Amino acid sequence: MRLTTNLTTTFTRLALGSAVMLASLGTAQAQDDEVKIGFIVKKPEQAWFINEQRAATEVGEELGFDVVRLGGEDGQAVLSAIDNLNSQGAEGFVICPPDVRLGPAIMNRAEQYGMKVITVDDQFVTASGEPMEGVPHLGMSGYKIGQQVGNAIADEMEARGWNPEEVAALRITNNELPTAVERTDGATEALLESGFSEGNIFDAPQQNSDTSSAFSAASPVLAQHGDYEHWVIYALNEESVLGGVRATEQYGMAAEDVIGVGINGSGAAFAEFSRQNPTGFHGTVAVSSTMHGRQTAEDIYRWITEDQEPPANTETSGTLMTRDNWQEVREELGL
């Protein structure tokens, strides 16, 4: 099956120069011969990933290749997704892995099938925890975006006239994921530079990267430090910051006593900004998931069809989005 697909694809590419031969292919067959790529994400239900996969499909429609969207929420699911792609004749895939340490196992399976691989958002690491070389990656510039989060929180604290010494920070961490650590480290550094007290930063380690794991991590930390009136919240993404904000609400804190700033700029943030009354979710640093999806899908397509290897590492930047400007930023970033 695989061999047949390869031969057919090679034949079609050779034939592309010949309008006569191409014209003789029936529409159905021409479609079968379209290059096929996979797009596997760790959380297919999260707004960021929904948009990223949608954007990949769209660029495929524009350039004439097929995108198979799959979820890979754990190692087993990813490996069966790769088997599935192979049986459909896909020649490569883009992936945001559920665990970056799965990199070597994923590459092993992909290489067995001769598939090309690009990581998006979360970069594979080796057994010793170093970024895995040889697999092109596109992801946000974690530390810089984290600093934007920290600066946005500091500015809003100043606007509200809070005394930094009396404010507590809920830092929702995910230490298993390097980009998550970079993001919260960047935010911490910016906050400390603005005069925030290091002793007022409390860690809430989460087991995942979603709202419910952040809510569970945040609740006990708030309970332990009930003496603070003002809280700021940051994390690797807006879903997690929202978990922290929901925990403050459950704890009876008012929106004006909480400043949460997330990262992503996806449907989760739009829904929050669309509520009639402001919540403790002050803003989010928006990054274009549309660009992440389009660029990586196009990169793998060009790699397959033109043997053009993508850059080893591409870092993307972000823009602060708040209740006041979210619609403009959304449009600007094509979200």
Pairing of strands 281-286, 319-322: antiparallel
Q: Considering the rule CB under 6 A, would residue 263 count as an interface residue with ligand GLA? A: yes
Shorter beta-carbon distance to ligand GLA: residue 65 or 93 = 93
Shorter beta-carbon distance to ligand GLA: residue 91 or 239 = 239
Edge-to-edge strand list for the sheet holding 167-173: 201-205, 167-173, 230-234, 258-264, 281-286, 319-322
Q: Considering the rule CB under 6 A, would residue 264 count as an interface residue with ligand GLA? A: yes
**Nearest residue to ligand GLA, by Cβ distance, number only:** 121
Q: Considering the rule CB under 6 A, would residue 237 count as an interface residue with ligand GLA? A: yes
Pairing of strands 92-96, 36-41: parallel
Sole residue written with tokens 């660009």: 291
The residue count for the chain? 335
Q: How far is the CB of 327 from ligand GLA (least distance, A)?
A: 21
Shorter beta-carbon distance to ligand GLA: residue 66 or 122 = 122
What is the C-alpha separation between 222 and 230, in angstroms, rounded?
11
Nearest Cα to Cα of residue 296 among 62, 37, 35: 37
Residue from 37, 59, 68, 96 that binds ligand GLA (CB under 6 A)? 96
Please give the torsion angle defined by the CA atoms of residues 51, 59, 286 and 134, in that order, rounded to the nearest 10 degrees.
100
Q: Considering the rule CB under 6 A, would residue 245 count as an interface residue with ligand GLA? A: no
Beta carbons of 260 and 239 less than 8 angstroms apart: no
Q: What share of the chain is helix, strand, coil (3-state, %, to 5)?
A: 50, 20, 30
Q: Considering the rule CB under 6 A, would residue 167 count as an interface residue with ligand GLA? A: no
Q: How many C-beta atoms surround the C-beta of residue 216 within 10 A?
A: 15
Q: Considering the rule CB under 6 A, would residue 182 count as an interface residue with ligand GLA? A: no
Q: Considering the rule CB under 6 A, would residue 98 count as an interface residue with ligand GLA? A: no
Residue from 66, 91, 99, 121 that binds ligand GLA (CB under 6 A)? 121
Please return the burial class of 16, using the count of CB atoms within 10 Å of its CB with bins 0-12, 13-18 and 19+.
exposed
Q: Considering the rule CB under 6 A, would residue 248 count as an interface residue with ligand GLA? A: no
Q: Considering the rule CB under 6 A, would residue 12 count as an interface residue with ligand GLA? A: no
Q: How far is the CB of 48 from ligand GLA (least distance, A)?
A: 5
Q: Considering the rule CB under 6 A, would residue 117 count as an interface residue with ligand GLA? A: no
Q: How far is the CB of 263 from ligand GLA (least distance, A)?
A: 6
Q: Considering the rule CB under 6 A, would residue 272 count as an interface residue with ligand GLA? A: no
What is the C-alpha separation between 237 and 241, in angstroms, rounded?
7
Q: Considering the rule CB under 6 A, would residue 285 count as an interface residue with ligand GLA? A: no
Q: Considering the rule CB under 6 A, would residue 211 count as an interface residue with ligand GLA? A: no
3-state secondary structure of 161: coil
Shorter beta-carbon distance to ligand GLA: residue 206 or 248 = 206
Q: Considering the rule CB under 6 A, would residue 122 count as an interface residue with ligand GLA? A: yes
Pairing of strands 137-140, 92-96: unpaired
Per CB under 6 A, which of residues 290..329 are in contact with ligand GLA?
Answer: none
Nearest Cα to Cα of residue 73 among 210, 202, 187, 166: 210
Shorter beta-carbon distance to ligand GLA: residue 36 or 137 = 137
Binding mask 47-86 for ligand GLA (x = CB under 6 A): -x--------------------------------------
State the residues that interact with ligand GLA by CB under 6 A.
48, 96, 121-122, 139-140, 179, 209, 236-237, 263-264
